[in-house]
């Protein structure tokens, strides 16, 4: 329970007066255990400090943006240097061209890049490009897949009207039949298929992309002239130094990027192949802050680290170390823990835990031991983590399984997650 007189509590009370709901969006702690802090003071490397001074090994990495460590000295030096020269100017700097060149060189399907701020800017722009390219309306996407918070894709219905959602068809991720039937239903009006690089929906087991599903998406697009979009906003650079579907040999026409491409500095991107270049050049998309130079300087430095370091191999090895160690400790404590998703973006769910009461108890006990894990959203590894950090997390897990064992029989339902019971 958030302590009565903690700074976090005081800030929550003040926020209630001046921020709708006290906090909104994906970083609101409304659906997390009661003791999770809402407000933080700083981040350094793989750690964050809450406003009451508690330090945590952070397996959320800001929900993705932290790839090379918070306050990474090289990235932030590049950012600060450019800030001194100029950031938001009357036009872009040379860095915009360099950033586009760097991304096009790194991502095999891409011939061009456009920059924006948030992942939602990039996914919405992808939809506009696809509709401009095909002069058609319909988009197919997987049920439950998150592509951002604009009216066309936000997961909450409040304030959204039917026409915002018009011309969308849904399939089940990895289900070739449902993809084919959505395509048949779209007929000659199919503009694009959106695909998550793997199934990374909240609250449920994650799943790798099925090759037949990915190939079918590609074939449908080739057959109909629609564009295939891989939404790499969340997974980009944690699975490959290329578009995530390059790992299974399926190339999209468009890919969307954000979160970690400048290690936390605000920039996102839409990349495309030559096929979509003309459409991308005739749509009108822009923003006051889209051409800022400092995030581009940070992005160039981040991409240099991507190219020149073994960060991906290291976070993969660390991910495997956590997965193996956790499996061992769960087994020893007598718990069936399902660990799904790529090792660098894991999700843990307990067997027989429909309202996540075990997950909440375990996560709280981890938090108590200085490790910030998430009970129902995929987590993220960063290159600032070390083997010693993972071993500390495993020690914490051993203690947390002990707490769960003692308390399992007396755990009450998690009221705020009652909607989950029986849902899957
Ligand atoms: N697509 C995916 C797959 C995402 O995970 C997210 C953000 N979680 C977005 C799009 C939207 O990105 P942003 O929050 O930066 O708008």
128 is written with which tokens?
């506009």
pLDDT at 186 (0 to 100): 98
Q: What is the pLDDT of residue 420?
A: 74
Choice from 62, 234, 255, 374 to test ligand 1 binding pocket (greatest atom count within 8 A of CB): 234
Cα(324)–Cα(6) distance, integer angstroms: 37
Q: Which mutation among 27, 201, 235, 259 tests ligand 1's pocket best, with the greatest number of atoms within 8 A of CB?
A: 259
**Is residue 148 lining ligand 1, measured as CB closer than 6 Å?**
yes
Q: Where do we find the tokens 């994906």? A: 26
Rounded to 5°, the CA angle 118-124-126 comes to 105
Rounded Cα distance between 72 and 90, Å, is: 29
pLDDT reported for residue 424: 44
Helix ranges restricted to H, 334-374:
357-368
Given the CA of residue 63, which atom of ligand 1 is nearest to it?
Answer: 8
Site to substitute for ligand 1 among 117, 142, 148, most atoms within 8 A of C-beta: 148
CA of 64 to the centre of ligand 1 (A): 9
The pTM assigned to this predicted structure is: 0.97
What is the CA angle 73-106-385, rounded to 5? 35
Structure token digits, residue 18: 């001046």
Please enumerate in sequence order all residues whose Cβ is within 8 A of that of 267, keeping only pairs 6 or more positions apart, or say none: 99, 115, 116, 117, 258, 261, 292, 295, 296, 298, 299
Index of the ligand 1 atom closest to the CA of residue 258? 15
Nearest to 182 by CA among 127, 138, 226, 148: 138
Ligand 1: nearest atom to the Cα of 119: 12
The C-alpha atoms of residue 240 and residue 214 are separated, in whole angstroms, by 17
C-beta atoms surrounding 39 within 10 Å: 17
Ligand 1 neighbour 9 (Cβ under 6 A):
no
Cβ(123) – ligand 1 distance below 6 Å = yes
First to last CA, the chain: 29
Taking the chain (424 residues) in consecutive chunks of 10 residues, what is each chunk's mean pLDDT? 85 98 97 97 98 98 99 98 98 99 98 98 98 98 98 96 98 98 98 98 98 98 98 98 98 98 98 98 98 99 98 98 98 98 98 96 98 98 98 98 94 83 52
Within 59-206, strands assigned E span 112-116, 138-142, 168-171, 190-195
The token duo for 319 is 């991910």
Nearest CA owner, ligand 1 atom 5: 234
* Residues 72-97: b if buried by 16+ CB within 10 A, e if exposed: beebbebbeebbeeebeeeeebebbe
> What ligand 1 atom has the least distance to the C-alpha of 145?
3
Q: Is 146 in the pocket of ligand 1 (CB under 6 A)?
A: yes
What kind and span of H or E run contains 339?
A: strand 337-340
């Amino acid at each position: 329970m958030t302590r009565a007189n903690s700074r976090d509590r005081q800030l929550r009370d003040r926020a209630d007066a001046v921020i709708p709901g006290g906090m909104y969006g994906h970083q609101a702690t409304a659906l997390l255990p009661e003791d999770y802090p809402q407000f933080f003071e700083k981040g350094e490397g793989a750690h964050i400090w809450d406003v009451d001074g508690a330090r945590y090994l952070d397996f959320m990495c800001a929900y993705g943006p932290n790839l090379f460590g918070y306050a990474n000295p090289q990235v932030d030096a590049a950012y600060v240097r450019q800030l001194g020269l100029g950031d938001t100017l009357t036009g872009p700097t040379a860095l915009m061209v360099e950033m586009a060149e760097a991304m096009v060189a790194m991502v095999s399907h891409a011939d061009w890049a456009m920059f924006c701020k948030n992942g939602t800017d990039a996914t919405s722009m992808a939809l506009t490009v696809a509709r401009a390219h095909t002069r058609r309306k319909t988009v197919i996407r997987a049920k439950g897949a998150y592509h951002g918070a604009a009216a066309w894709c936000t997961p909450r219905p409040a304030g959204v009207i039917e026409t915002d959602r018009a011309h969308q068809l849904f399939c089940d991720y990895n289900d070739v039949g449902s993809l084919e039937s959505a395509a048949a239903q779209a007929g000659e009006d199919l503009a694009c298929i959106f695909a998550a690089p793997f199934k990374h929906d909240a609250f449920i087991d994650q799943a790798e992309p099925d090759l037949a599903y990915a190939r079918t998406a590609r074939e449908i697009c080739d057959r109909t002239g629609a564009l295939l979009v891989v939404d790499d906003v969340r997974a980009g650079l944690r699975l490959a130094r290329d578009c995530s579907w390059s790992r299974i040999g399926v190339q999209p026409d468009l890919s969307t990027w954000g979160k970690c491409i400048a290690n936390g500095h605000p920039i996102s991107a839409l990349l495309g192949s030559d096929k979509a270049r003309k459409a991308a050049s005739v749509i009108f998309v822009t923003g006051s802050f889209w051409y800022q130079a400092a995030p581009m300087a940070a992005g160039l430095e981040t991409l240099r680290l991507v190219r020149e370091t073994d960060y991906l191999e290291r976070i993969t090895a660390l991910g495997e170390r956590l997965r193996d160690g956790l499996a061992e400790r769960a087994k020893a404590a007598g718990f069936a823990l399902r660990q799904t998703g790529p090792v660098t973006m894991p999700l843990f769910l307990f067997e027989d835990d429909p309202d996540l009461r075990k997950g909440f108890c375990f996560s709280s006990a981890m938090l108590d031991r200085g490790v910030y894990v998430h009970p129902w959203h995929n987590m993220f590894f960063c290159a600032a983590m070390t083997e010693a950090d993972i071993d500390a997390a495993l020690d914490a897990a051993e203690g947390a399984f002990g707490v769960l064992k003692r308390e399992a029989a007396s755990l009450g339902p998690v009221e705020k997650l009652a909607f989950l019971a029986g849902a899957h």
